[in-house]
């Protein structure tokens, strides 16, 4: 089984990537599987800037091809917030629950048809002697007034998907991978996926814990 290194320490994102890559026979590694401690400060103003920053920084540090993603929630009634600050919306030390609480509080009194939102994901593939490539995807939905479901992570419990008549947190991992923003980004990578995965596997194999 080949392996792919995803530049993240997020366990929820790892599960999402595993759901997407395992059917292709690809084992997912994250920065938690690398002996070096790598923490890339996300200073970009957009998802694109942050994804490229993470991918290129980790690729340069490890000398390997790396896939990095930056993703988050955009709520129209909040002028696109939390956006790139999705993971730290309620503060740097806050968690998913507090982030959700803040979003729901700021949406208090906003009618359901005005609670439109989308998850956005940008994937950046970077490595030695290769031009960084970017793929993006999104998933449209509505923000509910209360949490529903126990699957997923982040804002999934309050992100309602009309086509499924359920929140993201009520979907199975397989169902989510088919309609998620991350899945959409990977579908755009589809035409080049086999070639890129081969390169990733060749460069990371037997070197993932250097």
List C-alpha distances in Å: 94 to 86, 98, 101, 186: 11, 6, 11, 29
pTM, full prediction: 0.80
Q: How many CA atoms lie within 13 A of 21 on its CB side?
A: 27
pLDDT of residue 199: 57
- 8 within 8 A of 31, measured Cβ to Cβ: yes
Q: How many Å apart are CA 72 and CA 163, to the nearest integer? A: 20
pLDDT of residue 43: 87
The pair of structure tokens assigned to 4 is: 């792919």
Angle at 85 between CA 157 and CA 63, to 5 degrees: 105
Residue 64 binned pLDDT confidence (cut-offs 50, 70, 90): confident
**Mean of per-residue pLDDT scores for the chain:** 87
Q: Return the biggest CA–CA distance within the chain.
A: 55
Angle at 56 between CA 51 and CA 61, to 5 degrees: 130
- To the question of whether residue 21 is assigned a binding role by annotation, the answer is no
Q: Over 79-135, what HEC string results?
A: CCCEHHHHHHCCCCCCCHHHHHHHHHHHCCCCCHHHCEEEEEEEEEEEECCEEEEEE
Average of per-residue pLDDT across 11-32: 83
Average of per-residue pLDDT across 9-27: 81
What CATH number does domain 2-204 carry, 2.160.10.10, 3.40.50.720, 3.90.1570.10, 3.90.950.10?
3.90.950.10
Residue 209 binned pLDDT confidence (cut-offs 50, 70, 90): very low
- To the question of whether residue 182 is assigned a binding role by annotation, the answer is yes
Average of per-residue pLDDT across 162-187: 91
Q: What residues have CB less than 8 Å from 69, skipping those under 6 apart?
A: 6, 7, 8, 13, 51, 121, 122, 123, 124, 182, 185
Question: What digits encode the pLDDT tens for the residues 80-108?
Answer: 999 999 999 999 887 999 999 999 999 99
Count CB-CB contacts under 10 A for residue 110: 16
pLDDT at 34 over 80: yes
- 121 within 8 A of 52, measured Cβ to Cβ: no
Q: Residue 128: which of 190, 61, 180 has the closest Cα?
A: 61
pLDDT of residue 86: 95
Residue boundaries of the structural domains of the chain: 2-204
| Residues with catalytic roles | 70
Residue 167 binned pLDDT confidence (cut-offs 50, 70, 90): very high
pLDDT of residue 200: 53
- To the question of whether residue 151 is assigned a binding role by annotation, the answer is no
The pair of structure tokens assigned to 7 is: 């530049």
Question: What digits encode the pLDDT tens for the residues 117-166?
Answer: 999 999 999 888 788 999 999 999 999 999 999 998 999 999 999 999 99
Please report, rounded to a whole number, the percentage of residues in the chain having pLDDT higher than 70.
Answer: 90
- To the question of whether residue 155 is assigned a binding role by annotation, the answer is yes
- To the question of whether residue 50 is assigned a binding role by annotation, the answer is no
- Which tops the pLDDT comparison, 109 or 2? 109
């Amino acid at each position: 089984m080949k392996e792919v290194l995803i530049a993240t320490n997020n366990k929820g994102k790892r599960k999402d990537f595993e759901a997407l890559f395992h059917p292709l026979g690809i084992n997912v590694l994250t920065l938690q599987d690398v002996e070096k401690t790598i923490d890339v400060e996300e200073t970009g103003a957009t998802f694109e800037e942050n994804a490229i920053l993470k991918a290129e920084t980790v690729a340069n540090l490890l000398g390997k091809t790396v896939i990095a993603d930056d993703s988050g929630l955009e709520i129209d009634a909040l002028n696109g917030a939390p956006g790139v600050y999705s993971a730290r919306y309620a503060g740097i030390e806050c968690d998913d629950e507090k982030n959700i609480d803040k979003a729901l509080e700021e949406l208090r009194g906003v009618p359901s048809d005005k609670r439109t939102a989308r998850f956005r994901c940008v994937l950046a593939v970077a490595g030695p002697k290769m031009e960084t490539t970017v793929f993006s995807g999104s998933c449209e939905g509505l923000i509910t007034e209360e949490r529903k479901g126990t699957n997923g992570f982040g804002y999934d419990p309050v992100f309602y998907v009309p086509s499924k008549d359920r929140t993201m947190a009520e979907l199975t991992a397989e169902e989510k991978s088919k309609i998620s923003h991350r899945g959409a980004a990977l579908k755009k990578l589809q035409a080049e996926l086999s070639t890129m995965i081969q390169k990733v596997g060749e460069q990371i194999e037997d070197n993932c814990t250097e």
